[in-house]
Amino acid sequence: MREFTIGDLGIGECAGEVVSLFGIEVVKAESQSFDAQIALDEGEVDTAEELAYAAMLSAARALVRTEFIDVTEDPDEIVREFKTRFFDTERFFDRFAKGKFGLYLLDRHGDPGKRGVPADRRGSAVHRSLPCLRGAARRRGRNRADRRDDARLLTASPLKTRQRSARRAREDMTPQRIAAKLFTTDPSAPVELHPFIGLFHRFIQQAAVPGLLIDVADYSHVPEGPGVMLIGHEVDYGIDFTGGRRGLLTVRKRGGSLPIAELLRDTLRKALTTARAIEAADDVDVHFATGAVQVQFPDRLVAPNADQSYEVAVKELEPVARELYGDGFGIERQNAADPRQMLALRLSGDAADIATLLGRLGEVPMAAPGSWEIDVEDLKQLREGDGPLQLIDVRESREREICHIGGELIPLGTLGAKLGDLDRSAHIVVYCRSGARSAKAVAAMRDAGFENVWNLQGGILAWIDRIDPSLTKY
């Protein structure tokens, strides 16, 4: 395993990339699994078994925290939540190995003294399962051979890693993340970052740019780093200084099974829409060059910086480049000499204004701020009327035990898996404690095609304050 130092900033894995909490915790589990393998190689079977069990707990907790951020480090709670959310529902099942990871974990947790599964098999199970954990939310259907490749990548030599990654690029290049960077008209000119903090907060409040927006992160202290970032659920935006070149970096996350071309097309729409909003803002003076865009593939295991990946990427990106720039487009590979860098390509052509480029790709429809909300008084009238109404509570079960106003309990973290069971034509009102989580749920449901779904403004707290003070407030 390679250690990273401050000297790696701006290179490869440390190129200003924001690592998710999930990714950090999976790395912890990998480290524990690696130690278990070393102990096993040295004949310390009992130590290896304990370390493998700890690695499985860390991996399971990482997965649970993608839906239930407040899960503790108590093994009983981790296993219970993992079993309820992912094992019993078969949401974390491989089509060949089924729930092997969960079976190992439940077996070991249920009887710490049990040796029904040998320690060496437990350790290998963790190695096989950790890469699968990374892709659990995006590609649960990957076959077992791919997972064996992932496990070998954890300990393989750099040459073999590149060879196997290159083979995967030919066989299955389905990245979950793709990035597009629009450079400023003078990429080397200084850009004042502080105004972007307020601007990005305003974008969140006004839903001014595409995506479910969550927070603003200030990385201006990092030399040639990600600058100021607008963090979203499925897309991040940032005024990025990587490589000493200023620009708007748009990173599309959670690609699912989308083809590369469609993933890039959607990313470019979002990038151009956001660039237009920035140019129109009064508190910043930044303009973007539209004659070229840099496309990056942050998922290095799926899309390594290798010739085979480049060939696949060019084939996928050519139709989008033609849409954007016409037949005179160009595609140029960047960073080819350094395999530690992300695979990056430069799409170029005749410059046009942002509105023209968006017209070629199709604009992202924007909702009017607050247009998907109703207040508690309106909900009260709806419930007293005769019309059909479906109420959904997206809080956790322990919150519902304190107070509720009825409706179906679907915790926010499990909503995605339940969308297929809901009636898209129904009149739906979603609520949570204060209205924040339900707003995210409504945005996700609207994106999924639900046209008559509404967020209860202020959540159940507003209901208690203005409608039913007899309920317990928390």
**How far is the C-alpha of 362 from the C-alpha of 324, rounded, in Å?**
10
Considering Cα of 25, then 28, then 33, then 34, what sign does the dihedral take? positive
CA atoms lying within 13 Å on the CB side of residue 342: 22
Edge-to-edge strand order for the sheet containing 453-456?
Answer: 373-374, 453-456, 428-431, 390-393, 408-409
Strand pairing category for 330-334 and 227-232 = unpaired
Residue 432: active-site member:
yes
**How far is the C-alpha of 428 from the C-alpha of 415, rounded, in Å?**
14
Say which residues have a Cβ less than 8 Å from residue 197's Cβ, sequence separation at least 6. 216, 218, 228
**How far is the C-alpha of 458 from the C-alpha of 390, rounded, in Å?**
18
Residues in the chain: 474
Closest CA to 289 of 183, 179, 180: 183
**How far is the C-alpha of 324 from the C-alpha of 246, rounded, in Å?**
22
**How far is the C-alpha of 345 from the C-alpha of 331, rounded, in Å?**
7
Tell me if 210 sits within 8 A of 236, measured CB to CB: no
14, 132, 403, 432: the catalytic one is 432
Closest CA to 154 of 175, 176, 123, 179: 123
Closest CA to 166 of 318, 331, 339: 339
CA angle 6, 33, 85 (to 5 degrees): 100
Strand pairing category for 227-232 and 213-219 = antiparallel
Q: Which residues are catalytic?
A: 432
